[in-house]
Amino acid sequence: MNNRKVPLRKCVATQEMKPKRELVRIVRSKEGEVSIDLTGKKSGRGAYLSRNKEAILLAQKKNILEHQLKTKIDSSVYEELLALVEQP
C-alpha cells in the first residue's frame, strides 16, 4: 500500500484547507497580468480560491484577491471564475 500525500492549500476567501485539486489558482505574473491558472504550474504570485460561487463572490466583495496579489483585479477575472464554477 503506497499512500500518496495529498497537497493541501488554503482558500483565501473562506480560510479552509482543501486538497489542491478542489481549488482554482489565480496568478499575477511579473508583468502584473492576472490570470486563472488551471494547470497550477504558471510562474508568478498565486492565490487559491474554492470552486464555489459563494467563495468567489466573497473574494470579490471584500477585495481579497487584490490584497493577496497586491494588484488591481479586473471584474472580467471574477466573471471568468464564476463561469468556470458553473460548468459541470
At 61, phi and psi to the nearest 5? Answer: -65, -40
Any idea what DSSP says for residue 14?
A: T
Q: Residue 18: what pLDDT?
A: 96
Residue 13's identity, in one-letter code, is: A
At 38, phi and psi to the nearest 5? Answer: -75, -25
- Check whether 88 has a pLDDT greater than 70: no
Q: For the chain, which domains are there? A: 8-86 (3.30.1230.10)
pLDDT digits (tens, 9 = 90+) for 2-61: 788 989 999 999 999 999 999 999 999 999 999 999 998 999 999 999 999 999 999 999
CA-wise closest residue to 22 among 5, 35, 40: 40
